[in-house]
Amino acid sequence: MPLINLPDFADDLLAEFAARGTERVDTPIIQPAEPFLDMAGEDLRRRIFMTENETGASLCLRPEFTIPVCLRHIETATGTPKRYSYLGEIFRQRREGGNEFYQAGMEDLGDRDIASADARAIGDAIGILDRLVPGKALSVTLGDQAVFEAVVQALGLPSGWQKRLIHAFGNLTQLETLLARLASPQPVVGLNRHVVDFLARGDEQGLVDHIDKTMQATGYSTNASRSPLEIARRLREKLVLSTTYLDDAAFGVLEEFLSLSLPLADASSALADFADAAGLKLGAALERFDARVAALANAGVDAAQIDYGAAFGRPLDYYTGLTFEVTAQGSTEVLAGGGRFDQLLTLLGAKDHIPAVGFALWLDRIETARAA
């Protein structure tokens, strides 16, 4: 039995889902913990309620619906395109408002027309909120991780630094910390002289043999999660990253990009001007961005209520492109949030690549907005 009551607008919400041709699904409250720990992001990981079964396998109370819905889609071998909706309890550690609350949302799996599917997700979120919170003017903040990735790649940073920066996208504090390290590299400390010597000479096999002998001597090898070769390559990567320096010009380009914040109607031209001025080739990423803007206009979504933030992302590791959040104007409380997660189903075990986009609705916040 649920410990909290469904909001009084639940029937209206389910009618909205049905009108959009979705199939309502439910998933077990107890979920395997590994997918969330590996793919959901640090912010969610530290708020999960963990447990384990009689065999010692890690389990958790369902902290969100996207991963469970995708797992269910894979397990049932359902074809695509497919549109799902959900409404149920999720469990997260929160400072206030209780740890159990209802969440609803939609997941759009398998539509190959990326721009149209993105526009539909944003339009659906706005349309549903217009029904649930009538009379409230809404604001949408939109970001695009794919454009950020294109900028980072065009700057020619080592792949390790690219991964770090992309992983931090959506967490401004973490991103600023990494940029500070790029501006002022810190040397790797704590390595013994033998390891330093092997790294300096570029003697990978010598380093692997040294690590293997050390692991054997200490008895660590039987419990190690990484092989000597993996450890050696990780040490080499850390050395490369610690000596990477982003010159003032490149650092200025990255900071200029992250500072871009403007109405969506002006974003395409601003991004094109930025790329030209910086001498960066962002062709494919900008083409996809422009296609989404056009698709939003074709879908009848009012661009005047949408702002683009180059640094805007959401704190979930599985997002790959579009990210967006919807609030009531004058409020910072997020009523709906979502984005594109094209790699998630493959990571969860799908045999074929399945593009995907979706959003979640925060029903307790919507209830508060209705009361206001």
Residue list, annotated binding site for L-histidine: 64-66, 92, 103, 107, 314, 318-319
HSE-CB for 263 with a 13 A CA cutoff:
6
Binding-site entries? 64-66, 92, 103, 107, 314, 318-319
What is the chain's length? 372
Using CA atoms, how far apart are residues 252 and 274, in angstroms rounded to an integer? 12
Q: Which of 159, 165, 153 is nearest to 237 (CA)?
A: 159
Q: In 225-235, which positions are buried (b, 16+ CB within 10 angstroms) versus exposed (e)? A: eeebeebbeeb
Measured CA to CA in angstroms, residue 73 lies from 40, 56, 273, 354 at distances of: 18, 26, 42, 11
Measured CA to CA in angstroms, residue 83 lies from 3, 69, 110 at distances of: 29, 11, 9
Q: Which of 231, 228, 232 is nearest to 216 (CA)?
A: 228
Q: Which of 160, 164, 132, 127 is nearest to 148 (CA)?
A: 164
For residue 7, whether the previous peptide bond is cis, meaning omega lies within 30 degrees of 0, is: no
Q: Which residues lie below 8 Å from residue 333, measured CB to CB, with a gap of 6+? A: 327, 362, 365, 368, 369
Using CA atoms, how far apart are residues 5 and 177, in angstroms rounded to an integer? 42
